[in-house]
Amino acid sequence: MKLEVNLKLNETQSIKAEFDAINIQEAVLQAGSLLAYDGQCEKCGDTNVTLQTRVAGEGKYKYTEFVCQGCNAKRQMGEYRDGSGFFLKPWEDAYVKDAAPQQ
């Protein structure tokens, strides 16, 4: 069973992904993070969002995330421990290196 997902990220970017699985449940599990994306930033409502992967820990860790171009908030894809698919984590405010800690 193949499941094809076409996802419009913003006005100029879209992605197409194909998932191959033994049945529809497994295909949806694999494609879950893309299927759950609603097309806009939860923090500011902007629809100009991109998809990126960044590497940390000298290549040991990879983080794939939706990034809002309006407020720089991020929404990471978490990976199931058994490697069967991904899920979306909540939107997080933009990281500001020199920000004072919250009291």
Write down the pLDDT at residue 80: 87
Question: Rounded distance, CA 90 to CA 65, Å?
Answer: 11
- Residue 99's pLDDT band, with cuts at 50, 70 and 90, is low
- Whether 14 shows a pLDDT value over 70: the answer reads yes
Question: Rounded distance, CA 31 to CA 89, Å?
Answer: 15
pTM: 0.82
Mean pLDDT of 37-48: 94
Q: Cβ contacts of residue 13 below 8 Å, gap of 6+?
A: 50, 51
pLDDT digits (tens, 9 = 90+) for 48-63: 999 999 999 998 888 9
